[in-house]
Amino acid sequence: MMGGARAWREGLTTLWLVGPATLAMTVLIFVPVALVAMLSFTDYQFGARTFNWIGLQNFADMVSSPLGRRAIVNTLIYAAVVIPFSIILALLVALGLHRLARRAGWLSNTLRAVYFLPVAATLVAMAIAWQMLLHPTIGPVNTALVALGLPRQDWLSDRGLVLYTLAAIGIWQSVGYNMVLFLAGLSAIPASLYEAATVDGAERPWERFWTVTWPMLGPTTLFVTVITATTAFRVFETVATLTKGGPAFASDTLVYALYREGFVYFKAGYASAITVVFFIFVLLFTALKFRVLESRVHYR
């Protein structure tokens, strides 16, 4: 009898602890996801009183439409540029600052704050700053190019250049956050491992990096890769502020297409289909990363 009462109290305590969070996740995450998935099979428009079930028509329209295919391809190109470069640059910066901290701690801390500034600042404000920097006539970037004898570039209005310009801005935004994560991973590596590696013959910094640093950064690298990929696939602020998907949809991405179709043209069903495709991309990429990298990660 006493055991049953104790189990009842423990169960009630567990319910009080996990119940609110579970309810919040159900209401704010699972229910909206289910509604979006349902709407993706309809022709519902915001404000309409009725809708029709159209099956996979929204998905077929997105794949067959040149604009839909362009949004998918642009998103994949953007992610393919941003993910590796932001991770590699963040790792290099973290290695440099970690080594600099031993000689000039104040300078290392100052540079950390500078690199982290894009993360702390509002993305829309930073996008506007980039718009001024990349102005075709009075922007400092083109002014510097002219001073070097190079031609001006239409960074945000050239169809062949605009997507890579946005990708460069995305790398600039991601490096600071990834740098902090890598610095945390570097600080957690025991110094005794480097001493043991030196005794075993790894005397050069590059050798110690491959034998100690890189394997021990496995969990951090996996986390950084997943976070960076998710951020890259859902790029929106810079596109909406700088190009609005232009010129001629050359910088259109999945999330911006979702916003345009859903909140400008009020095509809730079609926008829901884009959301489902976006979710599938992120899910598959994350699963692939875990499958490829998880087996190589060394957990301490």
What is the rounded distance in angstroms from the CA atom of residue 237 to the CA atom of residue 242?
Answer: 8
Is residue 38 assigned to a domain?
no
CATH code for the domain of 116: 1.10.3720.10
pLDDT for 207 equals: 85
Distance in angstroms (rounded) separating the CA atoms of residues 97 and 92? 9
Residue 19 lies in a domain: no
Q: What is the pLDDT, as a whole number, of residue 296?
A: 60
Alpha-helical (H) ranges within 122-217 are 123-133, 140-147, 162-187, 191-199, 205-208, 214-216
What's the confidence (pLDDT) of residue 133? 92
Residue 255 lies in a domain: yes
pLDDT at site 199: 79
The per-residue pLDDT string of the chain (300 residues; one tens digit each, 9 = 90 and over) reads: 455 677 777 777 777 888 888 888 888 888 888 999 999 999 999 888 888 999 899 999 998 999 999 999 999 999 999 999 999 999 999 999 988 887 788 888 888 888 888 887 777 788 888 889 998 888 999 999 999 998 999 999 999 999 999 999 999 989 999 999 999 999 888 888 888 888 778 778 888 888 888 888 988 998 899 899 989 998 998 999 899 998 989 999 999 999 999 999 999 999 999 999 988 888 888 787 777 666 665 555
CB environment 125-143: b (16+ within 10 A), e (fewer) = ebbeebbeebeeeebebbe
Q: Model pTM?
A: 0.87
User: Exposed, middle or buried by CB within 10 Å (0-12, 13-18, 19+), for 97?
Assistant: buried
Question: Residue 216 belongs to what domain range?
Answer: 58-296
- Given this model, what pLDDT does residue 300 score? 56
Residues for the chain: how many in total?
300
Evaluate whether residue 292 is within a structural domain.
yes
Mapping DSSP onto H, E and C, the string for 172-198 reads HHHHHHHHHHHHHHHHCCCHHHHHHHH
Grouping H, G, I as helix, E, B as strand and the rest as coil, residue 42 is: strand
pLDDT for position 82 = 96
In a domain, 269, yes or no: yes
Number of domains in the chain: 1
- The reply to whether 270 falls in a domain is yes
Say if 11 falls within a structural domain.
no
Q: Which residue has the tokens 């305590």?
A: 13
Inside any domain, residue 12? no
Residue 270 has a pLDDT of 93
